[in-house]
Structure 1
């Protein structure tokens, strides 16, 4: 889920630019049913029974509901003594996609129980022609919001304005 999903992290941009060190943004259709089944595809899988992890490598794509995440490497950590996923750690260039919204970053950590995705390293969030960049973004999948931190920059395309002469 982390490679392609992170490509453009679903959000509805602010009506004005985010100029401060942190910015709260609506995340549009990014609300997610964190209890939905998780589907993982990859080129390789290594399971470690002793520490309760599964390492997926090579063209990893994870899907949960409408959300998709893609990355070269995803470590899945299972809840201790249970058969359910606790969190997923994606690295190597992550893309998160939901509908026409997407986000990209160097790394992403998805905590299933809390319903949060923390993306770090050159975060790029796009929605249509609009874009936001920062160093860190925390997405709350329960309420469909995101908090961007670390020199936030926003580009909002206004269109042509229809004033051709």
Structure 2
């Protein structure tokens, strides 16, 4: 009997993301080729091979805009664009853009999202990751191929 694999398409899917819960209060480490700071708007733009680390999570992109809270009270959000990759534990996701809201602990990835989890992969228009509990919701033409796990 032949293995039969069927593509599955849906409007939304909930999945686990990463192996750990992320503490959004941990320090954020940023490395990049260049940095431009605008004191008037309270922003910083990192460009060129940008890598952001927070705990076990890593995010890389061509450009990251950092928006600070008023009165130097820390980071409010990060906006990553250009070949964005998010890695947590064994899971990795790619997209055109990722917006990380530090206060509510969410990362929203948009634009040709591809999530790889071991031998499985899912694609969608949008993925929202809740770092506090390590879950993600994919929406907008979600697509995956389910393996049957049997050669019979």
TM-score of the pair, normalised by structure 2: 0.90
| Displacement after TM superposition at 1:27 (Å) | 2.0
- In the alignment, structure 1 residue 87 sits paired with structure 2 residue 72: no
| Displacement after TM superposition at 1:20 (Å) | 2.3
- In the alignment, structure 1 residue 37 sits paired with structure 2 residue 43: no
- In the alignment, structure 1 residue 51 sits paired with structure 2 residue 41: yes
Please name the residue that 2:50 is paired with.
60
Q: Which runs of 5+ in 2 are unaligned?
A: 1-6
Paired residues in the alignment total 146
1:99 to 60, 73, 89: 89
CA distances 1:28-87 after superposition (whole Å, capped 9, x unpaired)? 415201011110000000000000001000000000000000000000000122330000
Query: 1:67 touches 1:98 (CA, 8 Å); kept in 2?
Result: yes
Query: 1:129 touches 1:156 (CA, 8 Å); kept in 2?
Result: no
Q: For the pair shown, which has the larger CA radius of gyration, 1 or 2?
A: 2
Q: Which runs of 5+ in 1 are unaligned?
A: 1-16
Measured on the aligned residues, the alpha-carbon RMSD in Å equals 1.6
TM-score of the pair, normalised by structure 1: 0.83
- In the alignment, structure 1 residue 109 sits paired with structure 2 residue 95: no
The structure that is strand-richer by fraction is 2
